[in-house]
A and B are shown apart, each in its own frame.
Chain A
Amino acid sequence: MKIVSRVLHALLVPVLLVALWWALSAHSTSPFFPPLKDIMEAFRANWLFARVGSDVVPSLVRMLEGYALALVVGIGVGLPLGLVRGLRDAVEPAVEYLRALPVVALIPLFIVATGIGDLTKVLVIALGAVWPILLNTEDGAGSVEPELRSMALAYRLTPWQRIWHVVLPSALPQIFAGARTALAISFIVMVISEMLAATNGIGYFVLQSQSSFAITDMWSGIILLGILGYLFNLLFLAVQHRVLKWHAGYRASEEMGTR
């Protein structure tokens, strides 16, 4: 009974909203808001699975390549910055400026430099997504519990052992927090870069449909982007849960229901 009520609570409002949209748009003659039925038809025609190979896969590959690059650089640079105070002080102004720079502003110039190929988009995505990972890694690595640090020193762990067994595990929850923000940024930058400079991809498809007034196609693309954004978040939470299950702080915050 409790489960029934919970499912009802979870699904009622979304179902109502979709039903409302369906009903209100059923006889719509507005060119911008076509009937949901037509949008669903376009969704099936476009994304199940005619354009998956030509648009969805290239988009996802770019995004994941950029995201992976951001993870490697963000953690690789964030760790030494967190561990060495002088290093952190030295690059702080530059990092503050670069992370405040809206990365989308660079896209027009990246196009000049590297063309509208995949490299441009992967680099822009990585440049946008690297900052939350880098800063969170830095912060996490810099705030390892003092007792833990002294104990690692007392046991004469080598620097590599210390990083691998002490620093990295204790910074992990924060790295994950940064990685989650970075994932959302990767997705957004991927879409914008495809709108500005691409010959395929979901962002390109949506903007092309808009400018050629293929409004139901445009809507189908918007809905696909919404679903993908939602799925990425779900996938990330599942991975995070698996990797961080052992972590006491993470478990506590999960029990409090703040995640």
Chain B
Amino acid sequence: MTAVRRKALVLGSVTTLLLALLLEAVSRSGLVSRAVVPPASKVLVEFAHLLATSGFWTAVGETMAAWAAGLGISIVVAVPAGLLIGAVPAIYDWLRTTIEFFRPIPPVALLPLVILVLGANQSMKISLVVIATIWPLLFQMLYGVQDVDRVLQETSRSYRMSAIFRARHIVLPSTLPYLVTGVRIAATIALIVAISTELVSGAPGLGTAISLAQSSGAVVRSWAFIFTAGVLGLLINVVFRGLERRLLRWHPSRRAQEVS
């Protein structure tokens, strides 16, 4: 750890601690109603209590199961589709406007429909996660495929390398940075969508735990669940950024970034 990094770490920790104390003080002083913002220490204690209950882990498990399944399905569909659409220009030509049209449509618009058709359950959550994450993944794949070095591509063709060899050794390595970024973005979106669907539909999971705690007047517990949602989001970010760094250490764009 360099001195600069250590200084940043100390500065960051101290500020975070101060912010938490400020939050505590604001709540205890009665500046805002305690029924709305309970003291931070109470939320943390409640969070620690929750960690020992099975209901907590069931709720987290249900949310994360939908997150993982939806994200997995999206990757399995979007990666080959992106490679294919990108590799055959004719397909891209014909589908371009259609894809451009579907992209900005908010997936939450479909929420009521999917709840109606599938009911408030796990498969409904998974479907919505897939709908929401498949576009960003597909787009990253298309950008990546377009970014493959022309000279490399033509060289490999003139050496008569097989299509599969080219896909594995030329196209995939070039698209990898885009794909990994796409997966990181999709992983964040998937968590938001999973929790949103639970809040709106009442399907079991973290979102429903938050609204149930809130409607039964357990504000502290409700905040503890919200804190949990933030921790999950943070974990997803940290894990996927670490993965990005590890997988792409060899990639020129990454190396240049680390130097500067």
Interface residues of A (CB under 8 A from B): 9-14, 17, 32, 86, 89-94, 96-98, 100-109, 112-113, 184, 187-188, 191-192, 195-196, 203, 206-207, 209-210, 215, 218-219, 221-222, 225-226, 229-230, 232-233, 257-258
Contact = CB atoms under 8 A, between A and B. Distances in A.
Given A191-B109, A192-B200, A229-B104, A17 B15 contact: no
A101 B233 contact: yes
A38 B111 CA distance: 21
A14 B102 CA distance: 10
A230 B105 contact: yes
B129 to A, nearest CB: 13
Contacts of A113: 32-33, 36-37
Instruction: Give the 5 A-B residue pairs with the shortest CB-CB distance, closest first.
Output: A100-B233, A101-B230, A210-B112, A225-B109, A89-B8
A92 B94 contact: no
17 contacts: A10-B97, A14-B101, A17-B98, A32-B117, A90-B14, A90-B15, A93-B12, A101-B226, A102-B196, A104-B207, A105-B199, A105-B225, A106-B226, A107-B199, A109-B222, A109-B223, A210-B113
Interface in B8-38: 8, 11-16, 19, 32-33, 35-37
Given A9-B93, A93-B16, A108 B199 contact: yes
Contacts of A225: 105-106, 109
B108 A109 contact: no
Interface string B209-238: 011001100010011011001100110110
B106 A100 contact: no
Contacts, number: 157
A94 B146 contact: no
A117 B196 CA distance: 20
B116 interface: yes
The interface residues of chain B, by DSSP majority, are classed as helix
Nearest to B12: A93
B106 A13 contact: no
B36 A108 contact: no
B95 interface: yes
Interface of B: 7-8, 11-16, 19, 32-33, 35-37, 93-98, 101, 103-113, 115-117, 143, 146, 188, 191-192, 195-196, 199-200, 206-207, 210-211, 214-215, 219, 222-223, 225-226, 229-230, 233-234, 236-237
Contacts of B210: 105, 108-109
B109 A226 contact: yes
B104 A89 contact: no
Contact of B36 (A91, A109, A219): A109
Given A90-B12, A96-B234, A232 B115 contact: no
Contact of A86 (B11, B32, B98, B109): B11
Contacts of B195: 102, 104-105
Contacts of A188: 106-108
B11 A89 contact: yes
Contact of B106 (A93, A109, A184): A184
A209 B112 CA distance: 9
B191 A102 contact: yes
Given A109-B36, A218-B113, A258-B143, A96 B106 contact: no
A105 B101 contact: no
A13 B115 CA distance: 28
Given A17-B98, A94-B19, A233 B104 contact: yes
Given A9-B93, A108-B199, A206-B109, A230 B101 contact: yes
A226 B111 CA distance: 13
A101 B229 CA distance: 6
Given A113-B36, A225-B109, A32 B16 contact: no
A105 B106 contact: no
